[in-house]
Protein backbone atom coordinates (compact mmCIF):
# COMPACT_ATOMS: atom_id res chain seq x y z
CA UNK A 1 0.00 0.00 0.00
CA UNK A 2 1.40 3.38 -0.93
CA UNK A 3 1.92 6.14 1.60
CA UNK A 4 -0.86 8.24 -0.01
CA UNK A 5 -3.31 5.32 0.15
CA UNK A 6 -2.44 4.63 3.78
CA UNK A 7 -2.84 8.30 4.71
CA UNK A 8 -6.19 8.50 2.90
CA UNK A 9 -7.35 5.38 4.73
CA UNK A 10 -6.34 6.84 8.11
CA UNK A 11 -8.11 10.15 7.47
CA UNK A 12 -11.40 8.81 6.08
CA UNK A 13 -13.93 6.17 6.96
CA UNK A 14 -14.74 3.31 4.61
CA UNK A 15 -18.11 4.90 3.93
CA UNK A 16 -16.43 8.20 3.02
CA UNK A 17 -14.14 6.40 0.59
CA UNK A 18 -17.06 4.53 -1.03
CA UNK A 19 -18.93 7.81 -1.45
CA UNK A 20 -15.82 9.46 -2.99
CA UNK A 21 -15.34 6.58 -5.44
CA UNK A 22 -19.05 6.52 -6.32
CA UNK A 23 -19.11 10.26 -7.05
CA UNK A 24 -16.21 9.90 -9.45
CA UNK A 25 -17.55 6.98 -11.50
CA UNK A 26 -17.58 7.65 -15.22
CA UNK A 27 -19.01 4.25 -16.12
CA UNK A 28 -21.06 1.57 -14.32
CA UNK A 29 -19.04 -0.53 -11.86
CA UNK A 30 -19.68 -3.55 -9.63
CA UNK A 31 -19.69 -3.58 -5.83
CA UNK A 32 -16.41 -5.52 -5.90
CA UNK A 33 -14.72 -2.92 -8.09
CA UNK A 34 -15.95 -0.03 -5.93
CA UNK A 35 -14.99 -1.87 -2.71
CA UNK A 36 -11.51 -2.47 -4.09
CA UNK A 37 -11.08 1.18 -5.09
CA UNK A 38 -12.35 2.31 -1.69
CA UNK A 39 -10.18 -0.26 0.08
CA UNK A 40 -13.16 -1.54 2.08
CA UNK A 41 -14.97 -4.86 2.33
CA UNK A 42 -17.81 -5.98 0.09
CA UNK A 43 -20.85 -6.05 2.42
CA UNK A 44 -20.46 -2.60 3.98
CA UNK A 45 -19.70 -1.18 0.52
CA UNK A 46 -22.91 -2.72 -0.81
CA UNK A 47 -24.93 -1.20 2.07
CA UNK A 48 -23.52 2.27 1.34
CA UNK A 49 -24.22 1.88 -2.38
CA UNK A 50 -27.81 0.84 -1.68
CA UNK A 51 -28.30 3.94 0.50
CA UNK A 52 -26.90 6.07 -2.31
CA UNK A 53 -29.40 4.44 -4.70
CA UNK A 54 -32.22 5.12 -2.22
CA UNK A 55 -31.09 8.76 -1.99
CA UNK A 56 -31.11 9.13 -5.80
CA UNK A 57 -27.36 9.74 -6.01
CA UNK A 58 -26.59 6.45 -7.76
CA UNK A 59 -28.51 4.18 -10.09
CA UNK A 60 -28.42 0.37 -10.01
CA UNK A 61 -28.42 -1.72 -13.19
CA UNK A 62 -29.30 -5.38 -12.82
CA UNK A 63 -29.69 -6.14 -16.53
CA UNK A 64 -26.24 -7.70 -17.02
CA UNK A 65 -24.49 -10.65 -15.44
CA UNK A 66 -23.44 -8.47 -12.48
CA UNK A 67 -25.26 -5.65 -10.75
CA UNK A 68 -23.53 -2.36 -11.45
CA UNK A 69 -23.85 1.10 -9.97
CA UNK A 70 -23.45 4.40 -11.75
CA UNK A 71 -24.02 8.03 -10.83
CA UNK A 72 -26.82 10.27 -11.97
CA UNK A 73 -24.85 11.87 -14.79
CA UNK A 74 -27.27 14.80 -14.95
CA UNK A 75 -26.60 15.58 -11.30
CA UNK A 76 -22.85 15.32 -11.91
CA UNK A 77 -23.07 17.66 -14.89
CA UNK A 78 -25.09 20.26 -12.99
CA UNK A 79 -22.71 20.10 -10.02
CA UNK A 80 -19.70 20.47 -12.31
CA UNK A 81 -21.35 23.43 -14.08
CA UNK A 82 -21.98 25.07 -10.70
CA UNK A 83 -18.34 24.47 -9.69
CA UNK A 84 -17.18 26.06 -12.94
CA UNK A 85 -19.52 29.03 -12.42
CA UNK A 86 -18.30 29.49 -8.85
CA UNK A 87 -14.60 28.95 -9.68
CA UNK A 88 -13.78 32.61 -10.12
CA UNK A 89 -13.23 32.27 -13.87
CA UNK A 90 -15.06 34.71 -16.07
CA UNK A 91 -17.43 33.64 -18.82
CA UNK A 92 -14.80 34.91 -21.29
CA UNK A 93 -12.13 32.66 -19.77
CA UNK A 94 -14.45 29.66 -20.04
CA UNK A 95 -15.28 30.62 -23.63
CA UNK A 96 -11.55 30.72 -24.43
CA UNK A 97 -11.14 27.28 -22.84
CA UNK A 98 -14.05 25.96 -24.90
CA UNK A 99 -12.44 27.26 -28.10
CA UNK A 100 -9.10 25.68 -27.10
CA UNK A 101 -10.72 22.27 -26.53
CA UNK A 102 -12.54 22.39 -29.87
CA UNK A 103 -9.34 23.47 -31.64
CA UNK A 104 -7.46 20.53 -30.12
CA UNK A 105 -10.08 18.10 -31.42
CA UNK A 106 -9.98 19.67 -34.90
CA UNK A 107 -6.18 19.34 -34.86
CA UNK A 108 -6.45 15.60 -34.09
CA UNK A 109 -9.08 15.15 -36.79
CA UNK A 110 -6.72 16.76 -39.30
CA UNK A 111 -3.57 14.99 -38.08
CA UNK A 112 -5.07 11.50 -38.20
CA UNK A 113 -7.77 12.07 -40.86
CA UNK A 114 -10.48 10.70 -38.54
CA UNK A 115 -13.71 12.09 -37.11
CA UNK A 116 -13.95 10.37 -33.73
CA UNK A 117 -11.93 8.76 -30.96
CA UNK A 118 -13.09 5.30 -32.07
CA UNK A 119 -11.96 5.96 -35.63
CA UNK A 120 -8.59 6.92 -34.18
CA UNK A 121 -8.52 3.64 -32.24
CA UNK A 122 -9.29 1.88 -35.51
CA UNK A 123 -6.01 3.18 -36.94
CA UNK A 124 -4.18 0.97 -34.44
CA UNK A 125 -4.73 -1.90 -36.88
CA UNK A 126 -2.09 -0.30 -39.12
CA UNK A 127 0.81 -2.72 -38.82
CA UNK A 128 3.38 -0.04 -39.64
CA UNK A 129 2.82 1.71 -36.29
CA UNK A 130 5.35 1.09 -33.55
CA UNK A 131 4.33 0.50 -29.93
CA UNK A 132 5.06 4.09 -28.94
CA UNK A 133 2.76 5.50 -31.65
CA UNK A 134 0.04 3.00 -30.71
CA UNK A 135 0.23 4.14 -27.08
CA UNK A 136 0.15 7.78 -28.18
CA UNK A 137 -2.99 7.23 -30.26
CA UNK A 138 -4.73 5.34 -27.46
CA UNK A 139 -3.95 8.17 -25.05
CA UNK A 140 -5.17 10.78 -27.54
CA UNK A 141 -8.42 8.82 -28.02
CA UNK A 142 -9.00 8.84 -24.25
CA UNK A 143 -8.20 12.55 -24.03
CA UNK A 144 -10.47 13.24 -27.01
CA UNK A 145 -13.40 11.54 -25.25
CA UNK A 146 -12.63 13.51 -22.11
CA UNK A 147 -12.61 16.78 -24.07
CA UNK A 148 -15.93 15.90 -25.70
CA UNK A 149 -17.50 15.53 -22.23
CA UNK A 150 -15.84 18.75 -21.01
CA UNK A 151 -17.06 20.67 -24.07
CA UNK A 152 -20.65 19.73 -23.22
CA UNK A 153 -20.30 20.83 -19.60
CA UNK A 154 -18.38 24.03 -20.33
CA UNK A 155 -20.82 24.89 -23.12
CA UNK A 156 -23.75 24.32 -20.76
CA UNK A 157 -22.09 26.49 -18.10
CA UNK A 158 -21.60 29.32 -20.59
CA UNK A 159 -25.19 29.07 -21.92
CA UNK A 160 -26.63 29.00 -18.39
CA UNK A 161 -24.15 31.46 -16.84
CA UNK A 162 -26.81 33.72 -15.35
CA UNK A 163 -28.99 30.87 -14.15
CA UNK A 164 -26.03 29.17 -12.42
CA UNK A 165 -25.07 32.31 -10.52
CA UNK A 166 -25.08 31.79 -6.76
CA UNK A 167 -28.42 32.84 -5.26
CA UNK A 168 -26.73 35.71 -3.37
CA UNK A 169 -25.60 37.20 -6.71
CA UNK A 170 -29.17 37.04 -8.04
CA UNK A 171 -30.57 38.58 -4.86
CA UNK A 172 -28.12 41.51 -5.14
CA UNK A 173 -29.04 42.01 -8.81
CA UNK A 174 -32.77 42.11 -8.01
CA UNK A 175 -32.31 44.65 -5.18
Q: What tens digit of pLDDT does each residue of 70-119 get?
A: 988 888 889 899 999 999 999 999 999 999 999 999 999 999 999 999 99
**CA 9 to CA 17: how far, in whole Å?**
8
**Could you tell me the pTM of the whole model?**
0.67
- Between the alpha carbon of residue 149 and those of residues 55, 104, 134, 162, the distances in Å are 25, 14, 23, 22
Distance of CA 170 to the CA centre of its chain: 29
**How high is the mean pLDDT in each 10-residue block of the chain (175 residues)?**
54 92 90 96 97 93 95 86 94 97 98 97 94 96 94 96 79 52
Amino acid sequence: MTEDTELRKQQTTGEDRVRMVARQLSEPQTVNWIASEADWSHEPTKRVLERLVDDGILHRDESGPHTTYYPDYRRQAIQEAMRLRDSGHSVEELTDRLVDMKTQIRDWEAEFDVESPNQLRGTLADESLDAEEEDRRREIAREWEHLQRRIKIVGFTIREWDFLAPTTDRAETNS
